[in-house]
Amino acid sequence: MNEHGRHAMETMKKHDPEAFAQIADPETHFSMLGEEIQQAIWDLSEELTPTRGSEPPLEYIGLVNMAKLRAREMVYQEMIYAGLPSEPEDMEPGSPSREDGQD
């Protein structure tokens, strides 16, 4: 299972345990979902990456990296967070949980 499948599985387990419990084979389900997410990120990041212009190489690399990050965020929203009962910003990778009741 790739990182995207693991993230989807842990997110669903935490934020929608009832739906997670209904998945007959979570390992297979999230392995396949992770592969689909990876492909969607690759496809979208290609679309979002600007055509190389006259900018310095390091600046262009930065633009490519930003396109990849935007693609990941958009795909995660669509393929992981959209069907969950919690707010998507609560589930961003690396963001602190809002379980303390603060909004």
The per-residue pLDDT for range 5-47, each reduced to its tens digit, is 999 999 999 999 999 999 999 999 999 999 999 999 999 999 9
Cα–Cα distance, 91 to 103 (Å, whole number): 14
Q: What is the pLDDT of residues 37-93, one digit of tens each?
A: 999 999 999 999 999 888 899 999 999 999 999 999 999 999 999 988 855 555 555
Counted domains in the chain = 1
Alpha helices in 25-56 (DSSP H): 26-48
**What is the pLDDT, as a whole number, of residue 85?**
84
pTM: 0.77
> How far is it between the farthest Cα atoms of the chain?
53
Residue 100 lies in a domain: no
pLDDT band for position 100 (cuts 50, 70, 90): very low
Check if the beta carbon of residue 34 is closer than 8 Å to that of residue 69: no
**What is the pLDDT, as a whole number, of residue 103?**
42
What domain range includes position 11?
3-86
Residue 76 lies in a domain: yes
- Half-sphere exposure of residue 66: CA atoms within 13 angstroms, side-chain side: 7
Residue 96 lies in a domain: no
